[in-house]
Amino acid sequence: MPGFEIFGAEERKQVNEVLETGVLMRYGFDGMRNTHWKAKEFETAFAKRMGAEYCQLVSSGTAALTVALASAGIGAGDEVIMPTFTFVASFESILALGAIPILVDIDDTLTLDPKAVEIAITPKTKCVMPVHMCGSMADLRALKTICDKHGLILLEDACQAIGGTYEGKPLGSYGDLGCFSFDYVKTITCGEGGGIITNTEKYALHADHYQDHGHDHVGKDRGAETHPFLGYNFRISELNAAVGLAQLEKLEGILKTQKENYTILREALQSLEGVTFRRVPEGGEENYSFLNFFLPTKELTQKVHKALSEAGIDACFYWYTNNWHYINGWEHLHNLKSLGNLSSEVKNQMQDLNATDFSKSDAWMSRTISSLIKIGWTEKQVKDRARLMSEIIKKVLNK
């Protein structure tokens, strides 16, 4: 990770085919396209790869979450349960629809704690959104059991975990809907882009309409299309889809290299006393895009992270103090800072995040370091990194 490390001739070829026609939009202009429909091709290929009946491409991973929620009928006042460790897009997509993000604790998977989810359910709960952070998954069987019991939508945010599997199914395909990001630093990239997969025809049709202003896409004259319901513009361009098509062909090679590099690093650290690793739920296989490990205390973790940085070990993240990915840094959400007035539903139903106890999440996140797995490393570079990380961690822990 990420796919931009191997951007090359294949992507240029796909993009040039679009540029030669001059048709950069995914809809219309049939006679000018020279049979090139990159978004449609990507959707077909991605659905097949992910074991899903339907795929809808959109402009970003955030758009994918927003469109998926809207497609399932999530709207004003509906509550969506999400984790404390994720990217800000998770709650942004929920709030964009007037729905209410309900944040709950994570466990040692670094994803939603099923017990915390069960406690958070109210009569207004409509959806549970596990976020498969840093390449590995939530306990999907437990979450699906909860959703089935309460009649809730299970929406997988697999934006950081493409290629991982659970009980033999690609992540994103286990729930009712699955969302992916293809931005510049994801496992495969479109530059900017996102995707939604589902096996439910109704959700697929809703997504198709909603992401293009509510157009029904019947016939070949956009001006004659009707609008079954309101929508917005979350379309992907042909240029972005073209890049994604080439990247998708490289996915298996990317995953193979990630696993090889991950394994070298893990084997170097697993013998160190005091180092443990995130739990991958039984039946799951991560996509190996990050090596996530725990140290004994917050203080030692901070010292190790600082020492790694000072030694020039890049791409090691301490999420506990990260403003994008952990609840402690979301001051704007804590205090509902907005450019305009928020809806009464949001004002009245949002939990008071300043007074909510997330100590269980803190206990995991304050002891977590995540090492990004790059696919451009040579074998020597990976081994040198593994040796140096091991030496640094051992030195700090033995002081």
**What pLDDT digit, counting tens, does each position of 150-167 carry?**
999 999 999 999 999 999
Tell me: pLDDT of 223 over 80: yes
CA distance 30 to 217: 14
Render pLDDT for 236-247 as a digit per residue (tens, 0 to 9).
999 999 999 999
Query: With bands split at pLDDT 50, 70 and 90, how would you rate the model's confidence at 367?
Result: very high
Render pLDDT for 314-324 as a digit per residue (tens, 0 to 9).
999 999 999 99
For residue 257, what are the CA distances in angstroms to 34, 245, 250, 252, 261? 36, 20, 11, 9, 6
Q: Are 264 and 7 in contact (CB under 8 A)?
A: no
Provide mean pLDDT across the span 82-89: 98
Catalytic residue among 38, 126, 144, 186: 186
What contacts 313, CB < 8 A, 6 or more positions away?
385, 388, 389, 392
Render pLDDT for 92-137 as a digit per residue (tens, 0 to 9).
999 999 999 999 999 999 999 999 999 999 999 999 999 999 999 9
Tokens 């989810």 correspond to 117
CA distance 85 to 105: 8
For residue 97, what are the CA distances in angstroms to 94, 195, 352? 6, 18, 20
* Residue-level pLDDT at 399: 82
CA distance 163 to 375: 15
Q: Are 45 and 66 in contact (CB under 8 A)?
A: no
Query: With bands split at pLDDT 50, 70 and 90, how would you rate the model's confidence at 2?
Result: confident
Beta bridge partners of 81: 102, 128
Tell me: pLDDT of 300 over 80: yes
Domains, the chain: 3-250 (3.40.640.10), 252-397 (3.90.1150.10)
Is 259 among the catalytic positions?
A: no
> Model-level pTM?
0.97
CA distance 196 to 54: 8
Render pLDDT for 182-213 as a digit per residue (tens, 0 to 9).
999 999 999 999 999 999 999 999 999 999 99
CA 220, chain centre distance (Å):
34
Tell me: pLDDT of 31 over 90: yes
Q: Are 206 and 75 in contact (CB under 8 A)?
A: no
